[in-house]
């Protein structure tokens, strides 16, 4: 599965957000730095209205959304790369994530202490980015030392690694995150293996005040500008409101959202924004037993998409009976789509499209 790490300075609303996400009160939010000591891991269903529509047509007994993992990562402070606060643990946890959801305090509240004594989300973002870059520089130095002998011995992989590490080092010493490095096609795999922290895509989560979650405020506007300039993305939510909504029944939640002037819960937007940031898409399997959503990266071929369900599906792949989502709906289900000639037999070279309803045929 895909994993997003929730990071941010202490007291910005990470735990509140994480609680809302996982609908648990387990990770206690408190007005105290380092409240979240253990990294908390939560799996959330990715909301997708299409799945419910498919299930209704097929009269599926159960509905299983695709899932995404969120990791609430312990508070970071200035100096974390030097081992201050919970620095090292933080850095190890973040290395394992696919992307970073960076919570920024955009709400004013005199009762909630800010570690630097002022609300300035752009400066906060820079503080954390700087720590990530310093940590990268340190790990690059260590790794360069570690491969010296292999490089001398002419080991091809080590030579490639050294070249990439040095390019990243130059970039970082220039004060820029490693994600700005342009990497050749041939180097992409090795580059990803380096797992540098400042290469992770970032989704800025602007945590605004309760009455501001529809439009945002001046703080979130500045974050939006910064995110656009970096090629990252952002969402505006109020963690506190999301936590309240997460405790309501579905129909109550809908009424609450209407009263607030919101089209949907901020968490739904957050999860989807993460999905887009990672270039993920969804295909469906639909039957009377269950309607289920599956996650793939954009550009995945049919056999590899089948492999998400089970390795055997990929190994023994024969073909996939495929109906586009719109056709499935328009034809009122599988048999209608079949009659209308909208069910396609697709082979190994088929690139699965977002929304495809798939039925895989395979040898065992």
What is the closest distance, in whole angstroms, from the C-beta atom of residue 211 to ligand GDP in the complex?
Answer: 10
What is the closest distance, in whole angstroms, from the C-beta atom of residue 105 to ligand GDP in the complex?
Answer: 8
Residue nearer to ligand GDP on the CB measure, 35 or 167: 35
What is the closest distance, in whole angstroms, from the C-beta atom of residue 27 to ligand GDP in the complex?
Answer: 8
For residue 72, list its beta bridge partners: 6, 40
Residue nearer to ligand GDP on the CB measure, 87 or 303: 87
Is the distance from CB of 231 to CB of 307 less than 8 angstroms? no
Please tell me the distance from the alpha carbon of residue 91 to that of residue 76, in angstroms, as a whole number: 9
What is the closest distance, in whole angstroms, from the C-beta atom of residue 219 to ligand GDP in the complex?
Answer: 12
Nearest to 147 by CA among 168, 170, 167, 163: 163
Q: Which of residues 251-290 bind ligand GDP (CB under 6 A)?
A: none
- Which position among 66, 198, 238, 282 is part of the footprint of ligand GDP (CB under 6 A)? 238
Nearest to 199 by CA among 182, 179, 219, 184: 179
- Select the span of 10-18, 118-126, 181-189, 244-252 touching ligand GDP (CB under 6 A): 10-18
Question: Total residues at the site for ligand GDP (CB under 6 A)?
Answer: 22
| Residue 27 DSSP class | S
Q: Which two tokens stand for residue 330?
A: 């328009």
What is the closest distance, in whole angstroms, from the C-beta atom of residue 72 to ligand GDP in the complex?
Answer: 7
Distance in Å from the first CA to the final CA of the chain: 25
Q: CB within 8 A of 261, min separation 6: which ones?
A: 214
Query: Is residue 42 near ligand GDP by the rule CB under 6 A?
Result: no
- Which position among 5, 16, 216, 360 is part of the footprint of ligand GDP (CB under 6 A)? 16
- Select the span of 12-20, 60-68, 131-139, 158-166 touching ligand GDP (CB under 6 A): 12-20
Q: How, if at all, do strands 290-297 and 280-286 pair?
A: antiparallel
DSSP labels for 268-328? HHHHHHHHHHTTEEEEEEE-SSEEEEEEEETT-BHHHHHHHH-HHHHHTEEEEEEE-HHHH
Q: Which of residues 149-208 bind ligand GDP (CB under 6 A)?
A: 207
Q: CB within 8 A of 80, min separation 6: which ones?
A: 86, 87, 88, 90, 91, 131, 135
Query: Is residue 35 near ligand GDP by the rule CB under 6 A?
Result: yes
What is the closest distance, in whole angstroms, from the C-beta atom of residue 286 to ligand GDP in the complex?
Answer: 38
For residue 292, list its beta bridge partners: 64, 285
- Which position among 4, 7, 8, 234 is part of the footprint of ligand GDP (CB under 6 A)? 8
- Report angle CA 241, 247, 250 to the nearest 5 degrees: 100
7 annotated as belonging to a binding site for a ligand: no
For residue 294, list its beta bridge partners: 283
Residue nearer to ligand GDP on the CB measure, 40 or 232: 40
Nearest to 202 by CA among 330, 292, 104, 74: 104
- Select the span of 13-21, 163-171, 305-313, 339-347 touching ligand GDP (CB under 6 A): 13-21
What is the closest distance, in whole angstroms, from the C-beta atom of residue 237 to ligand GDP in the complex?
Answer: 8
Binding-site residue positions: 11-16
- Where on the chain is the footprint of ligand GDP (CB under 6 A)? 8, 10-16, 29-31, 35-36, 75, 107, 109, 112, 207, 209, 238-240
Binding-site residues for ATP, in ranges, read: 11-16
């Amino acid at each position: 599965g895909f994993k997003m790490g929730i990071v941010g300075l202490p007291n910005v609303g990470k735990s509140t957000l994480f609680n809302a996400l996982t609908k648990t009160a387990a990770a206690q939010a408190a007005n105290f730095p380092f409240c979240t000591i253990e990294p908390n891991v939560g799996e959330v269903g990715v909301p997708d209205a299409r799945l419910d529509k498919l299930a209704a047509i097929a009269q599926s007994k159960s509905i299983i959304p695709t899932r995404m993992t969120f990791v609430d990562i312990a508070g970071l402070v200035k100096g974390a790369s030097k081992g201050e606060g919970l620095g090292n643990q933080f850095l190890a946890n973040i290395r394992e994530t696919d992307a970073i959801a960076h919570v920024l305090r955009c709400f004013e509240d005199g009762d909630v202490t800010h570690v630097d004594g002022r609300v300035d989300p752009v400066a906060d973002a820079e503080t954390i980015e700087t720590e990530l870059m310093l940590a990268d520089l340190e790990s690059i130095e260590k790794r360069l030392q570690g491969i010296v002998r292999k490089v001398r011995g002419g080991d091809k992989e080590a030579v490639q690694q050294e070249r990439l590490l040095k390019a990243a080092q130059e970039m970082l010493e220039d004060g820029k995150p490693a994600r700005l490095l342009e990497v050749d096609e041939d180097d992409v795999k090795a580059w990803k293996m380096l797992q540098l922290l400042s290469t992770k895509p970032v989704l800025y989560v602007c945590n605004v005040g309760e009455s501001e979650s529809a439009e945002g405020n001046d703080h979130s506007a500045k974050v939006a500008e910064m995110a656009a300039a970096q090629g990252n993305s952002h969402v505006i939510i109020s963690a506190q409101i999301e936590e309240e909504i997460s405790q309501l029944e579905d129909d109550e939640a809908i009424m609450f959202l209407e009263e607030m002037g919101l089209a949907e819960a901020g968490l739904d937007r957050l999860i989807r924004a993460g999905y887009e940031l990672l270039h993920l898409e969804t295909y469906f399997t639909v039957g009377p037993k269950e309607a289920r959503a599956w996650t793939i990266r954009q550009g995945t071929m049919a056999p590899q998409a089948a492999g998400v369900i089970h390795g055997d599906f990929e190994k023994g792949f024969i073909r996939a009976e495929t109906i586009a989502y719109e056709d499935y709906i328009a034809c009122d289900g599988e048999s209608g789509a079949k009659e209308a000639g909208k069910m396609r037999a697709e082979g190994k070279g088929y690139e699965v499209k977002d929304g495809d309803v798939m039925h895989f045929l395979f040898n065992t």
